[in-house]
Structure formats: structure tokens, C-alpha cells
Amino acid sequence: MAKRKSGKAKTIQVRALARVEGEGAFTIVLQDDRVADVKLEIYEPPRFYEAFMRGRQATEAPDITARICGICPVAYQMSAVRAIEKAYGIQVPEPIRSLRRLLYCGEWIESHVLHMYLLHAPDFFGYESAIAMAQASAELKAHVERGLRMKKIGNAIVEVVGGRAVHPINVRVGGFYRAPTKDELQALVDDLRWGRDAAIETARWVASLDFPDFTDDYEFACIRSDHHYAILEGDVVTNRGLRISEDEFLQYFREEQVPYSHALHSRRVLPESPGADDRFAGCYQVGPLARWNLNRDVAPDLVRQVEQDLPVSFPTTNPFHSIVARALEVLLAYHEAIRIIEDYEQPDPSWVPFEPRAGHGCAITEAPRGMLYHEYHTDDAGYLTKVTIIPPTSQNQLRIEKDLYMIAPRLIDLPQDQACWQAEFAIRNYDPCISCATHFLKLKIERLPTSAH
Amino acid sequence: MATKKPRIGVFKFASCDGCQLSLLDCEDELLAIADAVEIGYFLEATRKPLTGEFDIALVEGSISTPEQIEQIHDIRNRSRMLVTIGACATAGGIQALRNFADVREFLSAVYASPEYIDTLKTSTPIADHVRVDFELRGCPVSKHHLVELISATLAGRRPNIPRHSVCIDCKRLGLTCLPVAYGIPCLGPITQSGCGVICPSYHRGCYGCFGPAHRTNVQGLVRAYQSAGVPEETLDLLLHTFNAWAPGFRESTRSVPEELLSRSTGPGGSGER
């Protein structure tokens, strides 16, 4: 352990990060009332998906990669099928693409509502859980009950289109094993209309919360289409003028191992190399706040009108406003689901036949937490030879650390409990799904820095 | 009546979080469950730290690091009843595919600096490490099974979780048999019931999420499909997914090293131990 020359050193550490999906921990090291370091540790054990998938059939990728994350399995299935369809040269017709968008809307609703109501809202009210919040007052209980019903409707979409809510079974390369009938989908519409109204109430409710004052010069990144709010495909864009195709992603965004943290971070590849002292250079944010900031001009009128009347204005650079962006995306997902069902004609056949071939393909779709990149190489019999998966939480990690680094000075004089909670609160803006981040390394080395002066 | 609410803990090892999410997916029952029990530890839902003892420990995930071996013993010592939830905790999960391979090669395939990773060579079920009182199958578990397990335990009776095969449920629903009518390989005859026969309902062969059913003849089914012209390779992949390490499925692979086959017992076809 390094010798400390002077001043007080204080370490705020939370071993198990609650109310995130997966297992994480973070550490803030303070020296002389100055933030010396922050670390987001992931002790989610590695599961080696990219290794054990080699030698599997490419057609198995949607079912296997779904198991990376039980909260957003549809996202994994959608990035997988699109990447493999590119490798195999399969053109999927519009009715099947619409059905995929409907399925994805179900997951956005389920995942976003889970996060807003059960994971994030308790922070704003100072409760340890949504259950404690529901037990505290009739008014808060009514909110939680509304959230549970909204979430259930999202799950119902995934169940009807995908077969079940967690790890859907109906998705296959080329389309669906069986397309739902118009009647099966129509049966969802009354609930979806209720959900759309509930989503408007939700947006108004979360926009009225007290937001901590916080801002930075963020680089937001997401996929974009100029015609609709992109979920399944689009160009990769950022608010600093980048616009590239998904095929170019790895030329502009890179997973790197950084020696001082032993963790893989994604960062923008910058034109000139940053100063050695700027460990946050190239950090960026993905997810609902990035998407709403960058794509709200192509959102449906209803959602834009609701947004206009909120006390929070967009674009925003306060990460705590992410809960509002999430609510607006839930409204958008309900709205889109109703539209898709009303226009629905059952695709026949429900999937496009194909032959395996040697090739490679990559695809990015918008998981609830942000861009999810899959890339597959196949041999001529359809076996996978190389797999690359970059989940959204891996991309957000460096940005989360920078938020913690900036917020840390406010935590110094708080009691330990409060400091931990405030830091967790900031992390939860990103809805980090740590099970997804198969790349995260366990960080064991703890060095107290020497005083800088 | 009982004076004190039973205390429940939800714990996670190597997994995707989908099984504990199934508990939060019990939207109609969640607040009622929360009134009937004390949720003592559930990181996906609450900030409460780990303290004290538990009447029921629900354990998700497989054991894949040295630290997890210590943790599962600690949880066992704190818990009156320990229930594994899902294929990872019950059979080792899809990450148990490493058990058939060289984990050092896996490490260097995924990580640039493999020396920083602390991992075991195997991903194993909870029952390989501590006594397990009951297990729920599935990838993911059925939320109806979760509610039944909690209700039965609160009522002091045994959970009513059938152990027969998906095939029997499929016949009861009157669905057309996919292998017979269409030649689609289906694991329904050897897979435990519980999912609600979802795949055959969507014109897809069962792919074994609930693991081997009680007293099934896996080799018999494999031979029958082979003689019907299904390539051995197809069956090998089909049996080697989320329950690859479950006894019943794991012997049927061509690629298991002998020493691993004789190493551990793991959970059998029956739920209670």
C-alpha cells in the first residue's frame, strides 16, 4: 500500500450494487478532499459466450445470446438475427420487420418500466425499494401498481409475439417460427390503449421529480433513421456530427484495455491522441437519453406534444433526466405497438428460407440500455468461426465513471450511507445491466494514491 | 398463526438475471407476496444489505469462481431451506459448455490479459457444493412455479411441481406432433414439463429449457431420430445448450472428456433431494 504523505484519505465503497441487474461494485478514493480516483468494478463472472459459440450453428445465436441478459433477451435476438441475415444475404420483408419492431416495443416497455418504477423511482423518494415505497403511502402504492400493470402489458406483447416474456422462443433467422394471427394481436389493443394513457401520466409524474443539478459536455450516441425513431436499424450518429454506417462501427468505437483500471472500456476513437492524463477521453453515453436527445425530431407527434408540456426541456445534458427520456420512450413504444397491430397483416410464410454460407455480418439494434453490437463470421456449413458482442453497459462504463468522478466532490462530507446512496443513484441513470457486460474484468487491486502535493 | 413473517433472500451467481426477474414479473402477486413475507435480500429489487438468516433462500446462477464457492456455503449456513431457481443453478447453465472444453483457451479467446480473470475451470450446479432442498427447473423458471413454491412453503406443504415430460402436456393440449408429422426434431419426450409447451405451440421443436424429465430414455430418443435421418451433429447441438451439464443430457455428447463425466453427480431427474 502506498504511503500517504499528508491529509485525510477516505474510501467510499459499495460492495454489492443494488437494484441493477447483475453484480457490480464501485469505489471512490478521495485524498486531501480531492477526488483521486473512481472505479466501477464488475464482479459478474465471465461466462465466455464469444468463446463457446465458436463451432455452434449461426442459427443458434438468437437463442444462445438471449441468455446473456434475462432483462433484454429480445435485443440480443434482434441484433443476432440481423447480423446473421446480413452474413447470409437474406432480405427480410417489411411485415416481418414490423413484427420484430412490435416485439422490441414490448421489451422496451417491460425493461424501461421495471427500471423507472421498481429500480430508479425509489431513489428519488428515498426508499430502499419499490416494495418499501408501495408500503409507505396509498399515493405511492398507486404509482407502483400502475407501473406493475404497465410492465405486465409489455410482457404480454413479448409473450404473444415471442412465446414467453424471458428468453422468447419464436424468433429465428429469417423471421418467426409462427407469426401471430391478427386476432391474437388485436386482443392486446384495449390494454395497450390503457398503457398509452398510463405512459402519459408516467411522463408527467417523473418529469415532476426533484432532479439533482448535474451537467457535462456529453457525447451521446445511438442509431438513427430520418423516417422513424430507430430501434432495429439505422446509421450510427452522435451529437458531435458523426454519422456512419453500422459496418464502420469498429473503426470509430473501440473496446480497449486500460492498464490503470484493468477493465475493458469502449471509447470513441479520437482523431488525435488525447493527453495521457485524460483517462475519460472518448467516453460516450448510449441509451434512452442519447436516443431521445438525438431522435426526438422523428418521434410520433403524440409523444412530441407530451414532451413539449413537460417541465423538463430537451435536449438535456442532465443524466438524471434519463428517467424522463425512458418514460417518453415507453409512451412511444405503446403508441407504435398500437399502430403496428392496427396495420398488421399476418406474414405468410412467417420466415424467409435460406442456405448457410461462408461470410460475415454485423448489426446494431437499440437495446433498452443502448446500442448492442453483434458480429458473426460463418463457414460454408453455417458454423460460427468468430463472434464479437459489445453490449451497451460496456459502452457506458467509462461515461459512468466520469459522472462518478464529477459527482464525488459533493459526497465527501456526507455520512457514508448517504454518500453510497447518492453515487448509486447516479449510476442507476444508466440502468446498468451488468449481466450483459460479458467483457468486464474483475478488479482486485486497490491502490491508495499518494498526495499530489 | 405465525407471529413472524418468513424471511426470503434472493441470491445470484453466474447467470443472466432472468430467473429472479421472473419473480418481479409476477406483477399480480408481487405486492401480496411482499406483504406475506419479509424480503431480506434481493439486490435486483432492494438496497438492503446481507444480514441475518433466511427461511427460504432462492438461488440463481452457477458456481464458476473460487469466491462463489465461499459465498454459497455462507448462504447455506444462513438458510433453513435453499431452493435453486433455473437451469444455471440446477445444472450449470449454458456457461457449463466450458466444462467440455479448455477454459484457458476460452480465456485467451475473450480477454486480452487473461491473467486478471479469476475463474474456475468448470461451471457447476449449486448442488455440487451444498445441500439443496428443492430445485426449480427452466431457462427461465416458470413464474407459476415460483408462486407455487412460495405459497406451498408458506402453507407448510410440498410444492406441486410435476416431473413428467413436455410430451405428455403436448398430447393433453392436442397439438400435432412435430417429429411425427413434419420430421422436426423435438426434445419434448425427454424434457421436463413446466414451460407450458410453448415451442410446439409455435411450430417449433422443444429445445430442452427445463432439462431432462424424470426417468427418460435420452439415448432411445437420439437413436430414433438418427434412424429417421436427423444428423448426429444436430442432436448433439440440441442436447448441449442450457442444460448441457445435467445428468441425462451430458452423457449423450461425443465431446465430454471421461474424467469429467465421473467427477460430479449434480442434480438428478427428481426435484427434491
Q: What CATH number has the domain bearing residue B108?
A: 3.40.50.700
Task: Report pLDDT for A421.
Answer: 80
Contacts of B33 in chain A (CB under 8 A): none
- Residues B112, B196 within the same domain: no
Q: Is B209 on the interface with A (CB under 8 A)?
A: yes
Q: Is A306 on the interface with B (CB under 8 A)?
A: no
Task: Report pLDDT for A1.
Answer: 31
Q: Is the pLDDT of residue B30 over 90?
A: no
Within a domain: residue B107? yes
- Residue B52: pLDDT band with limits 50, 70, 90: very high
Q: Is A421 on the interface with B (CB under 8 A)?
A: yes
Q: Is B123 on the interface with A (CB under 8 A)?
A: yes
Within a domain: residue B76? yes
Within a domain: residue B24? yes
Determine, for residues B30 and A21 on separate chains, whether the beta-carbon distance falls below 8 Å: no
- pTM of the predicted protein model: 0.92
Cα(A45)–Cα(A437) distance, integer angstroms: 10
Domain boundary (B155, B187, B219) is at B155
Q: Which of residues 169-208 of B touch A (CB under 8 A)?
A: 195-196, 198-199, 201-204, 207
Determine, for residues B94 and A47 on separate chains, whether the beta-carbon distance falls below 8 Å: yes
Measure B268 CA to nearest chain A CA, in Å: 23
- Residues B172, B212 within the same domain: yes
Task: Count CA atoms closer than 13 A to A327's CA, side-chain side.
Answer: 27
DSSP tag of B121: S
CA angle (A389, A15, A39) in 5-degree steps: 60
Measure B157 CA to nearest chain A CA, in Å: 27
Considering only the beta carbons, identify the residue of B21, B202, B241 that sits closest to A169. Answer: B202
Q: Is A243 on the interface with B (CB under 8 A)?
A: no
- Residues B11, B56 within the same domain: yes
Determine, for residues B21 and A134 on separate chains, whether the beta-carbon distance falls below 8 Å: no
Enclosing domain of residue B141: 7-155
pLDDT digits (tens, 9 = 90+) for B100-147: 887 777 777 777 666 666 678 899 999 999 999 999 999 999 999 999
Q: Is A54 on the interface with B (CB under 8 A)?
A: yes
pLDDT digits (tens, 9 = 90+) for A170-200: 999 999 999 999 999 999 999 999 999 999 9
Using CA coordinates, name the residue in chain B closest to A420: B47
Domain boundary (B120, B155, B190) is at B155
Q: Is the pLDDT of residue A20 over 60?
A: no
- Residues B54, B127 within the same domain: yes
Q: Is A238 on the interface with B (CB under 8 A)?
A: no
- Residues B97, B207 within the same domain: no
Contacts of A164 in chain B (CB under 8 A): 140, 195-196, 198
Q: Is the pLDDT of residue B61 over 60?
A: yes
- Residues B37, B91 within the same domain: yes
Considering only the beta carbons, identify the residue of A47, A151, A166 that sits closest to B95. Answer: A47
Considering only the beta carbons, identify the residue of A43, A46, A166 that sits closest to B21. Answer: A166
With CA atoms as reference, report the closest residue to B36 among B159, B157, B161, B150: B150
Within a domain: residue B206? yes
- Residues B229, B141 within the same domain: no
Q: Is A417 on the interface with B (CB under 8 A)?
A: no
Contacts of A69 in chain B (CB under 8 A): 16-18
Q: What are the backbone angles phi and psi of residue A72, rounded to the nearest 5°?
A: -130, 50
SS3 B17: coil
Share of chain A above pLDDT 70, in %: 86
Determine, for residues B101 and A52 on separate chains, whether the beta-carbon distance falls below 8 Å: yes
Give the other-Cβ count within 10 Å of A139's Cβ.
7
Within a domain: residue B232? yes
- Residues B134, B205 within the same domain: no
Determine, for residues B17 and A163 on separate chains, whether the beta-carbon distance falls below 8 Å: no
Determine, for residues A18 and B118 on separate chains, whether the beta-carbon distance falls below 8 Å: no
Q: Is B136 on the interface with A (CB under 8 A)?
A: no
Contacts of A23 in chain B (CB under 8 A): 12, 43
Within a domain: residue B12? yes
- Integer-rounded Cα Rg, in Å, for chain B is 19
Determine, for residues B27 and A151 on separate chains, whether the beta-carbon distance falls below 8 Å: yes
Contacts of A140 in chain B (CB under 8 A): none
- The pLDDT mean for chain A works out to 88
For chain B, how many structural domains are there in total? 2
pLDDT digits (tens, 9 = 90+) for A282-341: 999 999 999 999 999 999 999 999 999 999 999 999 999 999 999 999 999 999 999 999
Measure B4 CA to nearest chain A CA, in Å: 18
- Residues B63, B126 within the same domain: yes
Task: Report pLDDT for B42.
Answer: 84
Q: Is A254 on the interface with B (CB under 8 A)?
A: no
pLDDT digits (tens, 9 = 90+) for A210-232: 999 999 999 999 999 999 999 99
With CA atoms as reference, report the closest residue to A76 among A440, A433, A441: A433
Q: Is the pLDDT of residue A2 over 60?
A: no
Amino acid occupying residue A178: R
Q: Which of residues 4-63 of B touch A (CB under 8 A)?
A: 12-19, 21-22, 24-25, 27-28, 30-31, 34-35, 39, 42-50
Contacts of A439 in chain B (CB under 8 A): 110-111
Question: Residue B181 burial by CB count (10 A; 0-12/13-18/19+): exposed, middle or buried?
Answer: exposed
The residues near B252 (Cβ < 8 Å, ≥ 6 apart) are B218, B219, B222, B235, B236, B239
Domain boundary (B103, B126, B155) is at B155
Contacts of B203 in chain A (CB under 8 A): 177-178
Q: Which of residues 84-123 of A touch B (CB under 8 A)?
A: 114, 118-119
- Residue A6: pLDDT band with limits 50, 70, 90: very low
Q: Which of A118-128 are b and which e, b meaning 16 or more Cβ less than 10 Å from the residue's Cβ? A: bbbbbbbeebb
Q: What are the backbone angles phi and psi of residue A46, rounded to the nearest 5°?
A: -65, 140
Q: Is A364 on the interface with B (CB under 8 A)?
A: no
Region A24-35: mean pLDDT is 73
- Residues B138, B227 within the same domain: no
Q: Is B230 on the interface with A (CB under 8 A)?
A: no
Determine, for residues A67 and B65 on separate chains, whether the beta-carbon distance falls below 8 Å: no
Determine, for residues A23 and B43 on separate chains, whether the beta-carbon distance falls below 8 Å: yes
Secondary structure, 3-state, chain A: CCCCCCCCEEEEEECCCCCCECCEEEEEEEECCEEEEEEEEECCCCCCHHHHCCCCEHHHHHHHHHCCCCCCHHHHHHHHHHHHHHHHCCCCCHHHHHHHHHHHHHHHHHHHHHHHHHHHHHHHHCCCEHHHHHHHCHHHHHHHHHHHHHHHHHHHHHHHHHCCCCCCCCEECCEECCCCCHHHHHCCHHHHHHHHHHHHHHHHHHHCCCCCCCCCCCCEEEEECCCCCCCCCCEEEECCCCEECHHHHHHHEEEEEECCCCEEEEEECCCCCCCCCCCCCCCCECCHHHHHHHHHHHCCHHHHHHHHCCCCCCCCCCHHHHHHHHHHHHHHHHHHHHHHHHCCCCCCCCECCCCCCCEEEEEEEEECCEEEEEEEEECCCCEEEEEEEECHHHHHHHHHHHHHHHHHHHHCCCCHHHHHHHHHHHHHCCCCECCCCCCCCCCCCCCCCCCCC
Give strand pairing partners of B46.
A129
Within a domain: residue B261? no
Q: Is B118 on the interface with A (CB under 8 A)?
A: yes
Share of chain B above pLDDT 90, in %: 64
- Residues B141, B183 within the same domain: no
Within a domain: residue B248? no
- Residues B20, B142 within the same domain: yes
- The pLDDT mean for chain B works out to 87
